[in-house]
Structure 1
Amino acid sequence: MERRNFIKNTLSTSLGASILPVGAFAYSKTSENKSKEYPYKLKYAPHIGMFKNLAGDDVLDQLNFMADQGFTAFEDNGMPHRSIKQQTEMAKVMEKRGMTMGVFVAHTIYWSEPNLTSGNLEKREEFLKEIKSAVEVAKRVNAKWVTVVPGFVDLRQEHGYQTAHVVESLKQAAAILEPHGIIMVLEPLNFRDHPGLFLSKSAQAYEICKAVGSPSCKILFDVYHQQITEGNLIPNIEASWDEIAYFQMGDNPGRKEPTTGEINYKNIFKYIHSKGFDGVLGMEHGNSIPGKEGELALIKAYQEVDQF
C-alpha cells in the first residue's frame, strides 16, 4: 500500500471516514508530497495553531501542512512579535510552497482608551513609529497588507472631530506605506465583542478610506463582525467594493468555521469570486470541534463552501 493511502486509511479508521475531506492527510517532515491537494477557488488563509493536532507544534510544519491541503495563503496577527529568525524561516517556506502572506496587526490596538480618535500627537507619533516598524516586518515576510484598528471612541469629542483626527493619522501612515506598496486595511469590529471601538461599520470605513485617498488605505471586511453589526452582507460588500482589499471570516454565532452558524458563506464566496477578487480571505476563527477530528472537519467545511 502506498504511504499516502495508508495514512488516509489510518485517519479514516481513527476519526471516521465521513469526516475526512478530499485530499487530506497527516503531514510529516519526511513527506515528499508537495502537490496542491485541493484546488480552492479563493485564497483562504489559515493561521498558526489551526492545524496543530494534525501538523504538530512546529510553525514550519504547520505551514507545510496548510500548503499540502491546498491552502495558498496564510495570515498571522502576531508576526511582528516573532523573532527575525523565525520570520525569515516562515517566509522561505511560504515562498517555496507558493503561499501568499496575509495580514498581521501593524500597531498597538487601544481597546479601552482613545488614541487616534483623540488627536493626541503623542499617540499619533506612537502609531506612526509602529507603522514604520511594520514596514520592515512586511518586507521580511513578503506581506502586502497590515491590519489597522483606529481604537476606542473619545467620548469627549463629537464624532466628526474624531473622524478628522483618524483621517489625518491615516494620511500620514499612508505616506509611509505607499513607497513600499504596502496597504493598511482598516477593520471595523462589532459592538458585541468589542464595545466602544470607533470603527464598526463598512460605510464608515468606506468614508474614511475615501477621505484618506490613498492606495495604501483600504478596508478589511470581516464577514463575522459585519454580520453582527449590520448584516446585509453582500449589498454592503458591493457598495464598498472599490475600497475593500482584504476579507476575513468566521461564522456567527460562535466565530467558528463556515457551515457552523447562520452565514451563507457559499453564496458570499461565490459573489467575491465573481468579482475577480485575487486577494486573501483570512480564516480568523476557531475550530468548532477540538482535536484532529475538528481540524479535518474544518478542512471539509471549506471544501464544501468553495463548491460554487
Structure 2
Amino acid sequence: MQRRNFVKSSVGLAGAAISGEAVAGNWHSQPTTLAKNNFKLKYAPHIGMFENSAGKDPIDQIKYMADVGFTAMEDNGMMGRDPALQEKMGKEMERLGMTMGVFVLDKGGNSQNSLAAGKPEYVDIFLNGCRRAVETAKRVNAKWTTVVPGDFERNLPIGIQTGHVIDALRRGADILAPAGIVMVLEPLSDTPNLFLRTSDQTYEICRAVNSPSCKILFDIYHMQKNEGHIIPHINWAWNEIAYFQIGDNPGRNEPTTGEINYKNVFKHIHKKAKAENKEFVFGMEHGKSQPGKEGEMALIKAYLESDSFTV
C-alpha cells in the first residue's frame, strides 16, 4: 500500500474539509489533498473515529490518524483484541512515532463487581485484570489504563466504601507499578449509581493510595456535567491528574459543538503544563456531530480551531 505525500499547511486541511476535496473517493487513492497538521497538543483519536475515511482495518485507521497530524491514539477495547493484533498495532504506532493512550482495564470495577463493596471475589477480579493489563500494555507500549471502581454499595457508609476502594486500588498499584503502568481513575456522569463522580473525590482517593501508579483521568465532558467550574477544578486536582479526555456538552461530540470553551481550556492546560515541563495525552472520547466522511473532516476542523490558541 502506497502512503501519500502530505502538504504541511493546516490551511490545506481546513480548506479540504470545507470544499469536500479530501472526502471524495477512497483515502488510499487520493493525491495530496489532506494536510498533516502540527497540533500543539497530543490529541488521541480512538479506533472507529475515522473509519469512513480510512476503512475498518485498525492499522489503516492508525496510519490515517498519523497522516492528518494526530500524534497519539487510544482504544478502550484494546484488552479484548487478539494479542497478535495488539502487537501489530503497537509496532505500527511505534513506527509512526505515536503515543498509545488509555485502554480500559477489563473488569476493573463495574456494577457487577464494585470495589466499594469490599468483597474478596470482586477484588480478585480487579487484580486479575491488572495482571492481564500489564501484558496488554507490553504489546502496545501503553502507559495508562482506565479504571472505574464501579457502583455505590448503598448498604454501607460512604467512608467504609471509600476505604474498600482505596484498599483494592493499593493492591492494584502494587501490580502495575513495577511495569511502569498508571491506572487512571475516571469519575463519570453516566449514572448517579457510580461511586466515583467528581475530581475532588478522585483526588482524595489518589492521595490515600499514594502511588505513582494511581492518578486521575480528568474527562472534561463528565466533569462539566457533574461539577462544572472546569479550570479551577483542574488547578485543584492538578498534581494527581495524569490524563485528559475530551467531549463537548451537551451531545458529547467534538469541541465547538457545545458549551465548553475548549480553546481556553486547552490554552490553560498547555501553559500550565509547559511551565512544569509536563505533557498530557488528550483522549478524543466523543462522537461526531455529523455523519460520514464529511463529519470526520468537520471533526478535524474543530480541533484545528480549538488548537489555534496562543500562549
**1:67-107: per-residue Cα shift (whole Å, max 9, x none)?**
00100000000001110111111111100111000000013
Task: Tell me whether 1:235 sits opposite 2:236 in the alignment.
Answer: no
**1:224-243: per-residue Cα shift (whole Å, max 9, x none)?**
00000000000000000000
SS in 1 for 2:104: coil
Name the structure 1 match of 2:84: 85
Task: Tell me whether 1:261 sits opposite 2:258 in the alignment.
Answer: yes
Aligned-pair CA distance for 1:195: 2.6
In the alignment, residue 87 of structure 1 is paired with which amino acid? Answer: Q
How many aligned residue pairs are there? Answer: 296
SS in 2 for 1:117: helix
Alpha carbons 1:45, 1:281 under 8 Å: kept:
yes
Alpha carbons 1:88, 1:141 under 8 Å: kept:
yes
Aligned alpha-carbon RMSD (Å): 2.6
Task: Tell me whether 1:222 sits opposite 2:219 in the alignment.
Answer: yes
Aligned-pair CA distance for 1:275: 1.6
Name the structure 2 match of 1:207: 204
Pair 1:138–1:162, CA change in 2 (3 A): same
Pair 1:110–1:213, CA change in 2 (3 A): closer
In the alignment, residue 95 of structure 1 is paired with which amino acid? Answer: E
**1:124-178: per-residue Cα shift (whole Å, max 9, x none)?**
0111011100000001100000000000000100000000000000000011111
In 2, distance between residues paired with 1:32 and 1:137? 36
Aligned-pair CA distance for 1:37: 0.8
Alpha carbons 1:27, 1:55 under 8 Å: kept:
yes
In the alignment, residue 105 of structure 1 is paired with which amino acid? Answer: V
Name the structure 2 match of 1:182: 181
Pairwise mapping of residues 121-200 of structure 1 onto structure 2 (< 5 A)? 121-190=120-189, 193-200=190-197
In 2, distance between residues paired with 1:184 and 1:36? 35
Task: Tell me whether 1:295 sits opposite 2:292 in the alignment.
Answer: no
Aligned-pair CA distance for 1:4: 6.3
SS in 2 for 1:275: helix
Pair 1:124–1:37, CA change in 2 (3 A): same
Alpha carbons 1:4, 1:25 under 8 Å: kept:
no
Alpha carbons 2:130, 2:175 under 8 Å: kept:
yes
State, as a whole percentage, how many aligned pairs show the same letter: 56
In the alignment, residue 111 of structure 2 is paired with which amino acid? Answer: S
In 2, distance between residues paired with 1:143 and 1:263? 29
In 2, distance between residues paired with 1:110 and 1:242? 24
Alpha carbons 2:203, 2:240 under 8 Å: kept:
yes
In 2, distance between residues paired with 1:198 and 1:20? 47
**Structure 2, unpaired ranges of 5+:** none
Pairwise mapping of residues 273-292 of structure 1 onto structure 2 (< 5 A)? 273-276=270-273, 277-292=278-293
Alpha carbons 2:110, 2:151 under 8 Å: kept:
yes
Pair 1:25–1:64, CA change in 2 (3 A): farther
**Structure 1, unpaired ranges of 5+:** none
Q: TM-score, normalised by structure 2?
A: 0.89
